[in-house]
Structure 1
Amino acid sequence: MKRSIDLLLALIAAIPLLPLGLVVALAVKLTSRGSALYWSDRVGANERIFRMPKFRTMKVGTPAVATHLMADPKSALTPIGGFLRRTSLDEIPQLWSVVAGEMSFVGPRPALFNQDDLIALRREAGVAHLRPGITGWAQINGRDELPIPAKVAFDREYLERRSILFDLRIIVLTAAKLLGDRTVTH
């Protein structure tokens, strides 16, 4: 059922997001050298590695590490990279990963292939089998500001509470945050 809903939502979302995605791709190409898309090796369900597309927000040659591990992540951003990240416009290409079955709309955010601490904690918490999501319960509750153990605790809570209604709640809360309501209550 969840997979069918993901496909339906991807088709619905593609209508407004495809033209917007083309504009973003053009803006990335015009403001920095390199491809508009960046394919990142990520950890999917059952710890299987897959290639996840994003609009490129970092300069070509930036190491593939979690942003919080970089000495000065802002210096690696493209001229529009910060804006794309703040607005989550860099995530639009992940609709492809949903259609391909690598991701869901809601689930734990996919770890980078080299985030061994996050991967191990998710395995211990019993959430490594979940399909990763474009958004998730941890994103609603703090996103990148959360320490890794707190993210995994929210991933575990999602596993325990997951349902179609809970997924819809997370999608609505995500939309509210993206549209500027930073005081959304959970």
Structure 2
Amino acid sequence: IKNIKSNRLSLTNFCLIDYILRGDILTQALIIGLIMILISAILILLSILIKIKAKKLKIDNKIQQGKIIYSDLNIPEKSYFSKRYRITGKPDYIIKKNGQYIPVELKSGNHLNAKKNHIYQLLAYCQLIEDNYNCYTPYGVLVYIDTSKQFKINFDPKRRFQLESIIKEMRKSIKCNIIKRNHNEIQRCIKCSMRQYCNQKIS
């Protein structure tokens, strides 16, 4: 019985295909038109879903207005690399706003002011964006999720000089093999991604 049903189904499919192929031009055009309408409807639906998802990301993570062109939170993205400074990194988001590429970095913790190390991390992302997109990045945005605080960090000449000085200092420390822990925060030490390799970790 199953074989009979299977044969009937195959015969039905064959007849349908044969009908489409042998049908007149009007019938073929109608079927093609319906298929195109279906494909268009699916594409429109996908576009709407993408916009809804992007809007939700902005609301959930308190991101400023603009088009999200890069996100490293949900799906791992490629790292950016600067040949000039030999640094690499991945911002949480890149927003395109008024033709400019703006890095957005999300941080946790009850911070009411922008922390120095977070600022320089964001400045490094500004430099990476400029080197990879061949553009001018005027500022970046720090977002502290737990306190709903946002800080616009200008990438001005003073901060550019500071960033370059820090990179040079890091190069010197690495070359001389003199790298010291610069804090006494236990929780920061526990959460550090380099903890397993560090010989100065806090117990």
Provide TM-score, normalisation by structure 2.
0.25
Q: State the TM-score, normalizing by the size of structure 1.
A: 0.27
Structure with more relative contact order (C-alpha pairs < 8 Å, separation 6 or more): 1
Question: Quick check: which has more Rg, 1 or 2?
Answer: 2
Higher strand share: 2
